Chains A and B, each alone.
Chain A
Amino acid sequence: GEDVEQSLFLSVREGDSSVINCTYTDSSSTYLYWYKQEPGAGLQLLTYIFSNMDMKQDQRLTVLLNKKDKHLSLRIADTQTGDSAIYFCAEGFRSGGSYIPTFGRGTSLIVHP
């Protein structure tokens, strides 16, 4: 995970937008992912973006990719208390016929009323 960096904590008020940022170092990355992990649970893939895209929107989620700066962000609109979780950024590149994601340490999102 040392090649993918994220801030460790983010606190927002319910109803506000959350923006979680991530930087990565491998320019050969093909896919960039956002995963969500709730306490005691496995990882849930939220969304992913191909490296030749700038933006992807999926309901309340917007992913922005700045390939020049190797910067990826996840915006959650109208954040709810149920969005409280750890969010992992991951970069994936093709290796031996498959895409193996390399994860950051995760950003703990705390949503308070």
Chain B
Amino acid sequence: DAGVTQSPTHLIKTRGQQVTLRCSPKSGHDTVSWYQQALGQGPQFIFQYYEEEERQRGNFPDRFSGHQFPNYSSELNVNALLLGDSALYLCASSLGSGRDTQYFGPGTRLTVL
């Protein structure tokens, strides 16, 4: 049973570019959440997708957008990249309300030069 997978593992972009990160949830999970973890910080919630719709959103600008597909996989898109977007982006999957168990993927390390 595969856990949460994310791709790519690492990514280097320049300021102003756009990036797409991908996440496949744990088998049987229908909810995907995205987090940004800056160096030395805890993860910050970006948004959560359920039934192909954004259900909750954290305090992130509209440059951050996402999508969930019918197979529950998800993408995170970031436009007009800034240096401050450099971080580890974590995807977590859960079932329904996800109140007790969010399973995290290994993350995608994004570096913006």
User: B-contacting residues of A (Cβ < 8 Å)?
Assistant: 1, 4, 30-31, 35, 40-45, 48, 88, 90, 92, 94-106
Asked whether A45 lies within 8 Å of B45 as measured between CB atoms, the reply is no
Closest to B107 in A: A42
Asked whether B106 lies within 8 Å of A99 as measured between CB atoms, the reply is no
Provide the residues of chain B in CB contact with A102, threshold 8 Å. Answer: 45
A98 CB contact (under 8 Å) in B4, B50, B90, B101: B50
Residue B42 is within 8 A (CB to CB) of chain A in the complex: yes
Q: Which positions 85-104 of chain B face chain A at CB distance < 8 Å?
A: 90, 92, 94, 97-104
User: A-contacting residues of B (Cβ < 8 Å)?
Assistant: 4, 31, 33, 40-45, 48, 50, 55-56, 58, 90, 92, 94, 97-107
Closest to A30 in B: B99
Chain B nearest CB from A85 CB (Å) reads 13
Provide the residues of chain B in CB contact with A105, threshold 8 Å. Answer: 40-42
Provide the residues of chain A in CB contact with B107, threshold 8 Å. Answer: 41-42
Provide the residues of chain A in CB contact with B104, threshold 8 Å. Answer: 35, 42-45
8 further interface pairs, Cβ-Cβ under 8 Å (given A45-B101, A88-B43, A102-B45): A1-B42, A42-B4, A44-B104, A45-B102, A95-B56, A97-B50, A103-B43, A105-B42
Asked whether B44 lies within 8 Å of A1 as measured between CB atoms, the reply is yes
6 shortest interchain CB distances as A-B pairs: A103-B42, A42-B104, A99-B99, A43-B104, A1-B42, A42-B106
